[in-house]
Structure 1
Amino acid sequence: MLRFLTAGESHGPALTAIVEGLPAGLPLTQEYINYQLARRQGGYGRGGRMQIEKDTVNFISGVRGGLTLGSPVTMQIENKDYVNWSNIMASGPEADTSQRVVTRPRPGHADLTGAIKYRHNDIRNVLERASARETAIRVAVGSAARRMLEEIGVKLVALVRQIGGVSIEDKDYHVNELCESLTDSQLMCPDPAAEKKMMQEIDRCKEEGDSLGGVFEVRAYNLPVGLGSYVHYDRKLDGRLAGALMSIQAIKGVEVGAGFSAAALPGSKVHDEIFYNEERGYHRVTNGAGGIEGGMTNGQTVVVRAAMKPIPTLYKPLKSVDMGTKEPFEASVERSDVCAVPAAAVVGEAVVAWELAVAVLEKFPADNLYDLKQAVRRHAEYVRQV
């Protein structure tokens, strides 16, 4: 079983994760994960904290000499800003909990409901964990899963399809063309003309103290046929991918393949016809299903998209009510971004990688990388001969 648990607050000492079930012998370095962490911190429209935190991961256990041991892998990302918060966020009774108290819940955040649920008088106890800062450690975890997928030939690519009202032109990008077009993009956008308009829209919203959301897409190439299952509802891969993407802060919608657009089309224009020849075996020439049929990978590229709402922390605060006095106020402001869709896309890559890795190890249980690769190879040979 592949599983993980994360811990840590936004302004606490560190974010931590324990990952269990990675096969032994997997090449995994801090540099590899740090590269993915840097991608998460990039993107046009990010806020001030990206200049404070330069995230790097430390392995506390489970990795030796650049290879996983098969034992639990402990990862930690230090919060460098903690030095400015140590007297407030300390775990002991010496913590000065009278400072930086938040009693004005921000619309669109976990603030009010979280405070009610856990009976907190200081909303800081909610926002510190609900913060999107938590996604940094999930990117680290997902990067380990991504590294395993790479070893069996799977490639993941994320791109931004829309920011605000600006969308890219629909195009069937080849994987190499797509990767090349994203190399120098500030918004992980493969359409230069659309990216320019997106940046202009971000600038406009920044001037107005507003924020922007958008849509990102994650593609997974060369997955084995048959990951997931139609047998039980909780093993359907599309359901698990949707749940993983919806767990990312600010994500409000997910679609697979043609997704919502399929609802407006007749079945003849939605479903992917099946063909066969000796060279390719069974194959399809369209991919409306997004690589998943009946809850299982069908051999085509898996395509999932997620819609991110505009960031709710605004520099032009919305109206709220003080939980202490019940008087109306403008909601309190925490340091924030104007647009974080590219960052969310990197997080999306990570959570998709994790769910795919879980599905791989369910179908091909292996204690070490050699056995995993052999099992995947034998399965591919079987599929070609069916």
Structure 2
Amino acid sequence: MRYLTAGESHGSQLTLIVEGLPSRLPFSREAVDQQLARRQKGYGRGRRMQIESDRVQVLSGIRFGETTGAPVALAIENKDWVKWKDVMSPDSEGEKTEKRRVSRPRPGHADLNGAIKYGHRDMRDVLERSSARETAARVTAGAVARQVLQLCGIRVASHVVRIGTVGTERLDPARWTAEEIAERSEASPVRCLDPEAEQAMIRLIDEAKQEGDSLGGVVEVIVENVPVGLGSHVHWDRKLDARITQAIVSINAFKGAEIGIGFEAAERKGSQVHDEILWSEEKGYHRATNRLGGFEGGMTTGEPIVVRGVMKPIPTLYKPLNSVDIDTKEPFQASIERSDNCAVPAAGVVAENVVAWEVARALLEKFSSDTAEELHRCVEQYRKQVKEF
């Protein structure tokens, strides 16, 4: 299973093509729209979220509410396109205006590096594609993948564990189900499970906004009821934990990822890191703890997958940073009129969906199936085999 996205921040639409879905998989347009709406929420978002109200359009590969087995093509219209038609015209005879030309690179963005790499004197050709707007297409891909996971009883949830200097205690997955995490985080404007930390995070976001500054943070994704053995130990590029962390770091502004207790493992002795193996009639093989976040040897253990990602503060600031104009080589202070000052809650939704995609892809690699019924049957039979092993 794979996908491609196309489109620019102020282009007419974002386009997504998903290949490799089994046929007869129930498809819910409403479930995709729900994930898109979640991406646009969160305390600290800017006015762009008031302009856009994302809805998915189905172009091909779905008929009467089910996949056909053919590639699925989806689109998300950019409502702001009407104001940018001349600036973003694809036609060679279109009038190329200087009004929206970008010659001043913003620190922390792809502007300067992309312009040098691709030879653009107008950095709009870089920023339009490097914009986090593209994550709407990635959330759409994740929303499709979630419908594969749902078929097999696999659930995904996320929550915010840190914004700036305000953090929460490490979550014990044994005390929370994915459903409970999703319900509580959705009720919070910052998607935090701790009410006291939630209020402190909101105050911190308000303070940063008054100062013209921005905040980053940490999000955690949990995947529940995952079969044992997704991924593989036999090649480096088939290790599922590695693929998941790569997916996390590929999200705009994310600079790191960890599985389970992650970097904390460096401070502990081995006896305080590794998860003891137990067996019972009810559960079969299971772990006494889940410090390794549901992975051993690049493969799932059957315990919940737990992955964290760290997002840097958004680089588009009201507080000016120094830069250089590529035309004049003169210094200037980069500033912006409209931006989020904290997108961590929304980024958690993106993280949730890119992880869902990787888990669904690994599921279909292990249980290659042409139809949804075949996939469900294979997974259930395998779960029974594992319990009897």
Q: When the two structures are superposed, what TM-score results if normalisation uses the length of structure 2? A: 0.97
- 2:240 match: 237
Q: Is the 8 A contact 2:158 2:185 kept in 1?
A: no
- 2:54 match: 55
- 1:15 match: 14
Residue type of the partner of 2:107?
Answer: P
Residue type of the partner of 2:141?
Answer: V
Q: Secondary structure at the match of 1:127?
A: helix
- 1:338 match: 341
Q: Secondary structure at the match of 2:86?
A: helix
- 1:75 match: 74
Q: Is the 8 A contact 2:158 2:182 kept in 1?
A: no
Q: Is the 8 A contact 1:102 1:332 kept in 2?
A: no
1:382 counterpart (378, 382, 385): 385
1:356 counterpart (359, 383, 387): 359
* Structure 1 stretches of 4+ moved >4 Å: none
Q: CA deviation at 1:181?
A: 2.1
Q: When the two structures are superposed, what TM-score results if normalisation uses the length of structure 1? A: 0.98
- 1:307 match: 310
Distance 1:102 1:343, change over 3 A: same
Distance 2:326 2:186 in 1: 47
- 2:28 match: 29
Distance 1:179 1:48 in 2: 26
Say whether 1:161 aligns with 2:164: no
| Within-5 A mapping of 1:1-386 | 2-93=1-92, 94-172=94-172, 173-175=175-177, 176-333=179-336, 335-386=338-389
Which string of whole-angstrom CA distances, capped at 9 and with x for unpartnered residues, describes residues 327-361 of structure 1? 00012526320100111111101110111011001
Distance 1:19 1:280 in 2: 35
How large is the Cα RMSD of the aligned pairs?
1.0
Residue type of the partner of 2:62?
Answer: V
Distance 1:95 1:345, change over 3 A: farther
Which string of whole-angstrom CA distances, capped at 9 and with x for unpartnered residues, describes residues 104-127 of structure 1? 111111011000000000111100
Gaps of 5+ in 2: none
Residue type of the partner of 1:211?
Answer: S
Distance 1:279 1:195 in 2: 38
Which string of whole-angstrom CA distances, capped at 9 and with x for unpartnered residues, describes residues 47-83 of structure 1? 0100000000000000011111110000100001111
Q: Is the 8 A contact 1:226 1:298 kept in 2?
A: yes
Q: Is the 8 A contact 1:102 1:122 kept in 2?
A: yes
Q: Is the 8 A contact 1:156 1:221 kept in 2?
A: yes
Distance 1:3 1:79 in 2: 24
Distance 1:233 1:334 in 2: 45
Distance 1:95 1:354, change over 3 A: farther
Q: Secondary structure at the match of 1:87?
A: coil
Q: Secondary structure at the match of 2:30?
A: helix
Residue type of the partner of 1:200?
Answer: R
Q: Is the 8 A contact 2:317 2:335 kept in 1?
A: no
Residue type of the partner of 1:101?
Answer: R
Q: CA deviation at 1:95?
A: 3.7
Q: CA deviation at 1:183?
A: 3.6
Q: Is the 8 A contact 1:105 1:332 kept in 2?
A: no
Q: Secondary structure at the match of 1:76?
A: strand
Distance 1:349 1:155 in 2: 11
Q: CA deviation at 1:159?
A: 0.4
Which string of whole-angstrom CA distances, capped at 9 and with x for unpartnered residues, describes residues 226-283 of structure 1? 0000000000001100111111000001000010000111001000011112222111
Distance 1:171 1:31 in 2: 30
Residue type of the partner of 1:50?
Answer: M
Q: CA deviation at 1:174?
A: 1.3
